[in-house]
Chain A
């Protein structure tokens, strides 16, 4: 019994040594985006007792996956409220998984918004449009929170740019987020092009867009895609670029596709 008490005393003494080590390791983990999840009553209410215990035991990835599969079932039943709730839980548990933020935003801004607009149970168009815009906002919120949790990854910037382009028709914001994505390591090759395309639709920013598109064009044939050439020609006419400075007509390669 004395030895057990002694062992516990030694453990406490070693605990005092390990405490600063754990504390600094924890800080390093947070700096390197291994933030994990904050266990609090809010999370407990969100994911239920079993899920909370599982998440507490280091199995939050599996709990998040189980909820993700449930969200798919809810999607098949078009239960949009439940999908929203499930994705809030999923993204709370796994804030570093881009797929979850992206899917959550897609479900809200693309699927639920269309369903709200086509909802025949609501005869008033104004209310249907309002519901649709609420779902757009929910999708945007998921992506913005996703970006806050993953500021170093380009994918969610791309998704937010796509949302601004396709749902809000806000080309300036779309260009801004494509440009932010393009500036990050691991960005897709099309991000810079897309940022310039979107800018070319913005009233008053044609000169800026022209310079970006021309710079891309001058980089070589791999950038001279049909959409880029079409937007460049449109801006040349719009800005009254002298004929000698314009791109030649024959540069458009036949059979090339817009990415």
Chain B
């Protein structure tokens, strides 16, 4: 049997119905965003980061093992924090302006893709990129720490040959306590959440910014102010004897900006403070709350944008 025209086809299968919200479409946008971002030479930066770690460990070998591990952890986790924060801001700031410039956004939105899905897809792509980055950096960090720990253990065992076993055990315990410990993982996760929060906030700013430079500059200020939010909040709530204008200013800072100091747990974790599950979960929940709010607000502003 031959069908001469499209209309002649038997109507056994209906065309898939358009769904108002599709995770498939979000994933497609997210994977495209991720591919686009990976081409940003981000892995060259990761290579530099890894070299920085290795270089710093060789440099620090002249200090005692406790000092060496302390500085190594501080530098590595600080570098993770700096790198992911910068990456989150720079990568996200260019997403919407770049799509507008390339006219990709028109191609996407001309199809039945709601703007919310477009914005969510974009942020998921950035979060995936940040996830990959933090994972690669964590692996490099663990490898460097493990290598240094083994080297220090070997030297200590050689130096303590003939010492009583309990003294050797104490020395090895001290080395292992100074080197990597599992408490660092929640710290790394919080660093990731902080970067995700910054990405969501950057996306929100970029929905009404005219250029990505403007977004980056605004975000640089937001970054510093957000680290001072806790101070502003405390001053505002403690009712210091300041004027009305100052109090309004402090209230605005406290209400408008996220408290990024809440996400700086890693300094104290490196110092040996164990993070409790309750504190970790509350901090993570606060991070997710911020990410959700900023993403929804970004979508709302983007809905009103004339394209």
Hey, which bits of chain A sit against chain B, CB under 8 A?
2-4, 6-8, 10-12, 14-16, 18-19, 21-23, 25-26, 28-29, 32-36, 39, 53, 56-62, 64-65, 68-69, 72, 94, 96-99, 103, 153, 188-189, 222, 256-257, 259
Given A4-B208, A259-B167, are A23 and B271 neighbors across the interface (CB < 8 Å)?
no
Q: Which residues of A contact B135 (CB under 8 A)?
A: none
CB distance from A153 to the nearest CB of B (A): 7
Given A58-B260, A98-B271, are A21 and B74 neighbors across the interface (CB < 8 Å)?
no
B264 A153 Cβ-Cβ under 8 A: no
Q: Does B282 contact A (CB under 8 A)?
A: yes
Given A12-B255, A26-B262, A65-B75, are A96 and B230 neighbors across the interface (CB < 8 Å)?
no
- Say which residue of A18, A64, A96 sits within 8 Å of B272 (CB atoms): A96
Residue of B nearest to A57 (CB): B227
Q: Which residues of A contact B264 (CB under 8 A)?
A: 36, 58
- Say which residue of B71, B223, B227, B293 sits within 8 Å of A68 (CB atoms): B71
CB distance from B179 to the nearest CB of A (A): 13
A3 B304 Cβ-Cβ under 8 A: yes
Residue of A nearest to B177 (CB): A186
A22 B233 Cβ-Cβ under 8 A: yes
CB distance from B287 to the nearest CB of A (A): 11
Over the window 68-81 of chain B, the binary record of Cβ atoms lying under 8 Å from chain A Cβ atoms (1 yes, 0 no) is 00110011011001
Bound CA–CA A27/B305 (angstroms): 41
User: Which 7 pairs, one residue from A and one from B, show the smallest C-beta to C-beta distance?
Assistant: A15-B255, A96-B271, A3-B304, A61-B74, A62-B78, A61-B267, A97-B271
CB distance from A90 to the nearest CB of B (A): 11
B301 A58 Cβ-Cβ under 8 A: no
- Say which residue of A34, A56, A189 sits within 8 Å of B228 (CB atoms): A56
Bound CA–CA A18/B257 (angstroms): 10
